[in-house]
A = this chain, B = another copy of it.
Amino acid sequence: MDSVTALGLVAAVLTTGSFLPQAIKTWKTKSTKDVSIVMYLLLCTGIILWTAYGFLIGSIPVIAANVVSFIFTFAILALKIKYK
């Protein structure tokens, strides 16, 4: 793998993985007052479109990063709806 692709993969792991601490925090505290529901509605919708785009251009990294991101962001959205 060339160094540019490696940089892209590290970037993907960081941005995708970033949603996990928020999901864990929200899961533990059951408090979502300060979390914007509009953000997670837009984000989940956008991530679904990114996944479709990934399939259409045949990019495994785009598909993989967005499927994992969707799991985390949808969990945050579901917790926001449950505990709002």
Binding site for B on A (CB under 8 A): 4, 7-8, 10-19, 21-22, 24-26, 29, 31-36, 38-40, 42-43, 45-47, 49-50, 52-53, 56-57
Q: SS class of chain A's interface: helix, strand, loop or mixed?
A: helix
Contact B52 A7 (CB under 8 A): yes
- Please name 19 pairs of A and B residues whose Cβ atoms are closer than 8 Å in the assembled complex, sorted by A: A4-B56, A8-B50, A15-B42, A15-B47, A17-B42, A18-B38, A18-B39, A18-B40, A18-B46, A19-B39, A21-B36, A21-B39, A22-B39, A25-B34, A25-B36, A29-B34, A31-B33, A33-B34, A34-B34
Given contacts A16-B46, A17-B42, A22-B38, 12 further A-B contacts (CB under 8 A): A4-B57, A7-B49, A7-B53, A8-B50, A11-B47, A14-B42, A14-B43, A14-B46, A15-B50, A18-B46, A25-B39, A29-B34
